[in-house]
Amino acid sequence: MLDILSTIEKLCEYPSPSGFEHSASKRVENIMSRVMDKVEHDAFGNVYGIKKCGKKGAKCILLDAHIDEIGLMVTGTKNGFLTFTTLGGVDPRILPATEVLVLTNPPRFGVITALPPHLQSEKEMENAFDIENLCIDIGAEKDEKTVPCGTPVIFSSGCVKLCENYISARALDDRGGLVAILTAIDMLKSKKLSCDVVVLASVQEEVGCRGAKIAGFSVNPDLAIAVDVTHAHTPGADKTSTFKSGSGVAIGVGPNMTKKISDALISVAKDKKIPHTIEVCAGHSGTNAWVLQTAREGIATGLLSIPLKYMHTPVETVKKKDIEATAKLICEFLLNLSSGGIKL
Amino acid sequence: MIETIKELCNLKGTSGWEVAVREYIKKRIKPFATEIREDIMGNLIVFKKGQKRRNNPFMVCAHMDEVGLIIKDITEEGYLSFDFAGGVDRRVIIGKRVLVGEKGIPGIIGMKAVHLTTKEERKKTPKLSELCIDIGCEKKAAAEKLVSLGDYAVFDSPIRELGENKIKARALDDRFGCGVMLKLIESELSYDTFFVFTVQEEVGCRGAEIAAFGVKPDFALVLEATTAADIPVSEGSNKVCVLGKGAVIGCVDGGAIYDKRLFALLRGIAEEKGVSWQIKTRVAGATDARSIHVSRKGVRTTSLSLPTRYIHSPSCVADIRDMESVFTLARELISCEEEKLNA
Amino acid sequence: MLSIKEILDRLYKVKSPAGFEGDIAKVISAIAKENNLEYRTDAMGNVIVHRKGAGKKCLIDAHMDTIGFLATYIDEKGFVRFDTLGGFDLPDIHHVTVEFLNGTCGVISYEQKTDFKDRKVSSMFIDIGAKSEAEAKELILPGDAAVYAGELRELSNGKISAPYLDNRIGVAVALFVICSLKDCEYDVYAAFTVQEEVGLRGAKTAAYGIDADFAIVVDVTDSCDTPGFDGFGEVKMSDGAAIKIMDKAAIAHPAIVSALCETAEHEKIKYTRDIITIGGTDAGSIHTSRSGVPTGGISVPVRYIHSPCEVADMADIEASVKLLVKTLENHAVII
């Protein structure tokens, strides 16, 4: 049995800011090769794990999770400090005094600047810092040429276990999704499927679902299921648009998802008593499902999401049970498909 | 000394809860100290005999406590509400990890995801009441089994080297000062000296107040970590002090106008020994000197401080060379004969 | 063989607002023909010039459209209301002279009562001198497009100024390079694309049609060196070619970035690294085409982009040409 926590830990060791996923891709290839028959990658770093059923004309199911994470990019130097821009959606309020890893070779540790409270009024502290006024401190004495403009940066936080089987780490969006898929594949180890499965670990989702767009074209599957994260309830967030951690897998419904796929996922979840909720997306689901659906002549698409707290911060938090529910649903869905319960 | 400071920074010791730091220090100094006592608030008062006696007692002091969080409430959903013990800018704690209570239960301070915020919201710092610690518990009852109201939390931030000469750590303010004192206590001294490891500096220099009263020194030296804002947004005097430019000799800060003669003496020693030094270019912050210099009939007080960036955040950054400068000047000062101190 | 300057002079004889690129397509096609290169035009209007080679398929992309104005309504007094084709900074278009494709000139002004901060395109108009709707309609009709009037001028120190250096420069560089390549085994296509300024649309079909192994986009980028500039940015006028790291639509592929940087180092060509945080380039459409096309870019630093008086340095243009030629002739791109 694939261990969820240790797999997340392993994945977290490798930085993969959008556009710079190559080292993480290699790691994912390595992990995938243990559960898939064949593993390939493309020029952008998308990793494809392939498991054929051996039947002629078998349908092809694509399971997608993205491996890129949000980060920062160095844009220059200023008196030895590094200026930066964001890679993906970063709330500037999480940045002051945050520890980062500047991905030079070897990487350099850094701290994002902040002004001491002693120099600021209570009023000033009410306003968030402008991102333009923040820099990365790498301990350099003066401008060095060692960190070229364009160097990517990630948050340096690792993985920590909280109470009640919560896991907190950076980039659980969407390593949580990848781990759910791999867990499902692992559950199917001894089962016979009558469809081919391609597990896609896609790149550049955080900057516009770019990796999945080209992968959808390349694989051209009969069905694609994007496995990503969704917002979990947290203090201050609107409860109508978030999902309680521990409530299981959120099944996407709406124009971005092919109706019969959503329906099938819901009915399998009900039959197998897998904890689940329904996530209604009126338009863009904000996931790779959006681009997978319109690849080539169009692909039947489903979306499964894992509730995640504090998305896009260094302390994203997920409940292990929700990853397990997601894995279970993927597993049961594929079995149901193989037994002809669902027709594509 | 650097290794000692690192070890000290790894200990948890929010204001009012300095016990771990105190026990560590006690153990370390036992073979070297002449006399060790602990007062009612928990200050550790150490006397060490030197080669010569002093008629006018000299007290060196550094505080053991650090800024942190204190648990105020547990919500129905199992989140922990908190307040700050000491001055913390709430902007630096978002998205950071903490360790709660003596057992060090891991928790995180999250924030509503960026996707769920408005542009206006992103410009405002969340109120303290809107922030909470998430330890994973989903119900109040479960959290109550692990955490009690009044438990402290510290930032979970490992020590790291930063560049060639700098280190990053959580509690450099003021484990640095404690580390310098340990090193002095472990060395041979020319004169009898009192060393006081104080409590509750971060909530109002309260430990030092009673310690100074008890020790009755004529001279005091405070070893501290002080605000450096030498980052690109600060120009000129707003940098306050600069990392790598040496020890900060106390001149004027928000709590004290430091003794002019001791200032001149320290400056003279620094120039003579080629030790780099600076003064703060803004009147900001305060040290235990605030309480000490007005104790009883007055104490001639000076300070040596370590320029520290992002002070009172989980990631304080300071320069090792400045630490050495502070140590050298502190050692020289307490080795001065009385005529010099009184000159 | 024409010089870069001669190509630019020929390009500046025509107008090409987004959606109206027919005239410039003819000029580009003519130059390709003079150089005995194959060329074709696709359904969107992209001009695709081909220089055969046995090796990997390389796409050089430069968009040939420009920002412009579209007449939308003519009022009873003969004033022309308009909308924009592509992105503008409103202050740039106060009281500028524009020219419709048929040569009709006009000036842009605004309703007198509106405060500067409240001004929108809808409170502005083009005055073509007509005194009635009927008279105006003899000159132009709603749906006609206009561009900034202005010509290519030389400033001191090898600097040039004109509207639409974005992306006449890119077109000139790409055209000059494909015409002058010598020892290059790559199968090189140069796509002169339409409608970049309204959403990278032409490049989408051009890339699909060509199905290249890799692509290099030639465009312009902001020069971060004018008074009052306090943001970040390494790109400065006269510092050579700017190698694309990232823009809003694409992150340049590491293999292309390193091919360009290494070539620049090796050939001693001045260069900087370019990060664009506002706006994308054709790289966005190209790199996600089909199964993905590793894409990078070379940009020429330009001041006051999208204003009627953009400024560039000929030396940066020369550096960009040299960088592109050497990268291709050295077969530096390893995919």
Q: What is the CATH number of the domain that holds C262?
A: 3.40.630.10
CA dist., res. B18 & res. B9, Å (int): 12
Residue C245 lies in a domain: yes
Co-location of B272 and B135 in the same domain:
no
Is A164 noted as a catalytic residue in this protein? no
Co-location of B81 and B140 in the same domain:
yes
Co-location of B323 and B306 in the same domain:
yes
Co-location of C141 and C214 in the same domain:
no
Choose among A76, A208, A218: nearest Cβ to C234.
A76
Residue B161 lies in a domain: no
User: If we measure between CA atoms, which residue out of C174, C277, C267 comes closest to residue C222?
Assistant: C277
CATH number at residue B178: 3.40.630.10
- pLDDT at position B254 is 86
- pLDDT at position B236 is 84
Co-location of C93 and C191 in the same domain:
no
A-chain CB neighbours of C257 within 8 Å are 150
User: If we measure between CA atoms, which residue out of B41, B46, B19 comes closest to residue B31?
Assistant: B46
Q: Which domains does chain A have, with CATH numbers?
A: 4-69+170-338 (3.40.630.10), 71-155 (2.40.30.40)
- pLDDT at position B328 is 97
* Partner-chain contact A317 B317, CB within 8 Å: no
Final residue before a domain boundary, out of C99, C114, C148 = C148
CA dist., res. A238 & res. B186, Å (int): 58
Co-location of B215 and B235 in the same domain:
yes
- CA distance to partner chain A, nearest, from residue B283 (Å): 9
Q: Say yes or no: C208 contacts chain A, CB-CB below 8 A.
A: no
Q: Which of helix, strand or coil describes residue C201?
A: helix
Q: Say yes or no: A218 contacts chain C, CB-CB below 8 A.
A: yes
Co-location of C181 and C55 in the same domain:
yes
Q: Say yes or no: B233 contacts chain A, CB-CB below 8 A.
A: yes
CA dist., res. A63 & res. A225, Å (int): 5
The ipTM assigned to this model is: 0.88
Co-location of C222 and C140 in the same domain:
no
Choose among B124, B231, B309: nearest Cβ to A128.
B124
C-chain CB neighbours of A217 within 8 Å are 290-292
C-chain CB neighbours of A42 within 8 Å are 291-292
Co-location of B318 and B204 in the same domain:
yes
* Partner-chain contact B136 A235, CB within 8 Å: no
Residue B253 lies in a domain: yes
B-chain CB neighbours of A94 within 8 Å are 94-95, 111
Residue C219 lies in a domain: yes
Residue C116 banded pLDDT, cuts 50, 70, 90: confident
Q: Which of helix, strand or coil describes residue B253?
A: coil
Domain hosting B53: range is: 2-66+170-342
Choose among C251, C255, C335: nearest Cβ to A207.
C251
Residue B284 lies in a domain: yes
Final residue before a domain boundary, out of B120, B155, B190 = B155
- CA distance to partner chain A, nearest, from residue C233 (Å): 6
Co-location of B51 and B194 in the same domain:
yes
- CA distance to partner chain C, nearest, from residue A213 (Å): 7
Co-location of B301 and B272 in the same domain:
yes
Residue C156 lies in a domain: no
Torsion of CA C35, C36, C37, C39, to 10 degrees: 100
Chain A interface, mutation test: which of B134, B253, B281, most A Cβ atoms within 10 Å?
B134
Residue B325 tokens, joined: 């400068």
Chain C interface, mutation test: which of A44, A87, A105, A198, most C Cβ atoms within 10 Å?
A44
Co-location of B298 and B315 in the same domain:
yes
A-chain CB neighbours of C56 within 8 Å are none
Residue tagged 């709430």 (tokens) = B90
Residue B160 lies in a domain: no
Residue B244 lies in a domain: yes
> Which chains have 3+ CB pairs within 8 A of A?
B, C
Co-location of C287 and C139 in the same domain:
no
CATH number at residue C83: 2.40.30.40
CA dist., res. A199 & res. A189, Å (int): 14
Final residue before a domain boundary, out of C148, C179, C196 = C148
pLDDT higher than 90, residue C209 = yes
Residue C136 lies in a domain: yes
CA-based diameter of chain A, in Å? Answer: 72
* Residues of C known to be catalytic: 196
* Partner-chain contact B89 A93, CB within 8 Å: no
User: If we measure between CA atoms, which residue out of B204, B224, B172 comes closest to residue B61?
Assistant: B224
CA dist., res. C16 & res. C312, Å (int): 20
- pLDDT at position A236 is 84
* Partner-chain contact C291 A85, CB within 8 Å: no
On the 0-12 / 13-18 / 19+ scale of CB atoms within 10 A, C43 is exposed
- pLDDT at position A42 is 95
pLDDT, one tens digit for every residue, chain A (344 residues): 689 999 999 988 899 999 999 989 999 999 999 999 999 999 999 999 999 999 999 999 999 999 999 999 999 998 899 999 999 999 889 999 999 999 999 999 999 998 888 787 878 888 888 888 899 999 998 877 789 999 999 999 889 999 999 999 999 999 999 999 999 999 999 999 999 999 999 999 999 999 999 999 999 999 999 999 999 999 888 888 899 999 999 999 998 999 999 999 999 999 999 999 999 988 889 999 999 998 988 899 999 999 999 999 999 999 999 999 999 999 999 999 999 888 88
- pLDDT at position B213 is 92
User: If we measure between CA atoms, which residue out of C327, C9, C5 comes closest to residue C188?
Assistant: C327
CA dist., res. B286 & res. B204, Å (int): 9
What is the chain B residue with the closest CA to A92?
B122
- pLDDT at position B284 is 83
Domain hosting C105: range is: 68-148
CA dist., res. B232 & res. B59, Å (int): 38
Q: Say yes or no: B106 contacts chain A, CB-CB below 8 A.
A: yes
Please give the C-alpha separations between residue A49 and each of A9, A19, A33, B318, C189, in angstroms, as whole numbers.
20, 20, 7, 47, 34
Co-location of C309 and C223 in the same domain:
yes
C33: left (phi over 0), alpha (psi -120 to 50) or beta: alpha
* Partner-chain contact B89 A161, CB within 8 Å: no
* Partner-chain contact B136 A164, CB within 8 Å: yes
Who contacts C6 (Cβ-Cβ below 8 Å, separation ≥6)?
none
DSSP A332: H
- pLDDT tens digit sequence for B185-212: 999 999 999 999 999 999 889 899 999 9
Catalytic residue among B201, B202, B209, B224: B201
CA dist., res. C256 & res. C214, Å (int): 8
Query: What is the amino acid identity at position C199?
Result: G
* Partner-chain contact C288 A207, CB within 8 Å: no
Q: Say yes or no: A23 contacts chain C, CB-CB below 8 A.
A: no
Residue B261 lies in a domain: yes
Q: Residues 299-338, chain B: which have Cβ within 8 Å of A?
A: 309-315, 317
Co-location of C186 and C95 in the same domain:
no
Our answer on whether C and B touch (3+ beta-carbon pairs < 8 Å) is no
Instruction: Give the up-direction half-sphere exposure of residue B123: CA atoms within 13 A in the CB hemisphere.
Output: 3
Residue C158 lies in a domain: no
Final residue before a domain boundary, out of B98, B128, B155 = B155
The total number of structural domains that make up chain C: 2
* Partner-chain contact A73 C245, CB within 8 Å: yes
Choose among B77, B95, B164: nearest Cβ to A94.
B95
Final residue before a domain boundary, out of B97, B126, B155 = B155
Co-location of C75 and C56 in the same domain:
no
Residue C153 lies in a domain: no
Collect the ranges in chain B with pLDDT lower than 70. none
Q: Count helices and strands (H / E) in chain C.
A: 8, 17
- CA distance to partner chain A, nearest, from residue B174 (Å): 15
Residue B60 lies in a domain: yes
Are residues A6 and A20 in contact, defined by beta-carbon separation less than 8 angstroms? no
Choose among A73, A148, A213: nearest Cβ to C246.
A73
B-chain CB neighbours of A114 within 8 Å are 89, 91-92, 310, 313
Co-location of B190 and B280 in the same domain:
yes
Q: Which of helix, strand or coil describes residue C154?
A: strand
pLDDT higher than 80, residue C231 = no
- pLDDT at position A1 is 67
Co-location of B278 and B216 in the same domain:
yes
Q: Alpha helices of B100-215 — where are they, by DSSP H?
A: 119-123, 140-146, 172-185, 206-215
Final residue before a domain boundary, out of C91, C113, C148 = C148
Residue C155 lies in a domain: no
User: What pairing do the DSSP bridges indicate for beta strands B316-319 and B166-169?
Assistant: antiparallel
A-chain CB neighbours of C289 within 8 Å are 214
- pLDDT tens digit sequence for A264-301: 999 999 999 999 999 998 888 999 999 999 898 889 99
* Partner-chain contact A42 C292, CB within 8 Å: yes
CA dist., res. B183 & res. B60, Å (int): 12
| β-bridge partners, B59 | B194, B220
Q: Which of B258-262, C29-33, C65-69, C299-303 has the lowest mean pLDDT?
A: B258-262
CA dist., res. C183 & res. C161, Å (int): 34
- pLDDT at position B145 is 94
> Which chains have 3+ CB pairs within 8 A of C?
A
* Partner-chain contact A168 B106, CB within 8 Å: yes
Residue tagged 């002279």 (tokens) = C97
Residue C299 lies in a domain: yes
Co-location of C44 and C139 in the same domain:
no
Co-location of C100 and C87 in the same domain:
yes
Tell me the pLDDT of chain C averaged across its residues.
95
* Partner-chain contact B231 A110, CB within 8 Å: no
Choose among A20, A84, A217: nearest Cβ to C291.
A217
**Residue pairs spanning A and C at CB distance below 8 A:** 68
- CA distance to partner chain A, nearest, from residue B115 (Å): 8
Are residues A62 and A292 in contact, defined by beta-carbon separation less than 8 angstroms? yes
Q: Alpha helices of chain C — where are they, by DSSP H?
A: 4-11, 22-34, 133-139, 165-180, 201-210, 254-267, 283-287, 314-329
- CA distance to partner chain A, nearest, from residue C174 (Å): 25
Strands (E), chain B: 35-38, 44-48, 58-63, 68-74, 80-85, 96-100, 105-109, 133-134, 152-155, 160-162, 166-169, 193-198, 219-228, 247-249, 277-278, 300-309, 316-319
Averaged pLDDT for residues C239-263: 97
A-chain CB neighbours of C254 within 8 Å are 20, 22
CATH number at residue B103: 2.40.30.40
Choose among A84, A149, A211: nearest Cβ to C234.
A149
Co-location of B120 and B206 in the same domain:
no
Co-location of C174 and C213 in the same domain:
yes
* Partner-chain contact A119 B228, CB within 8 Å: no
The total number of structural domains that make up chain B: 2
Co-location of C104 and C247 in the same domain:
no
User: If we measure between CA atoms, which residue out of A129, A136, A131 comes closest to residue A76?
Assistant: A136
Q: Say yes or no: B107 contacts chain A, CB-CB below 8 A.
A: yes
B-chain CB neighbours of A98 within 8 Å are 95-96, 315
Co-location of B213 and B338 in the same domain:
yes
Residue B25 lies in a domain: yes
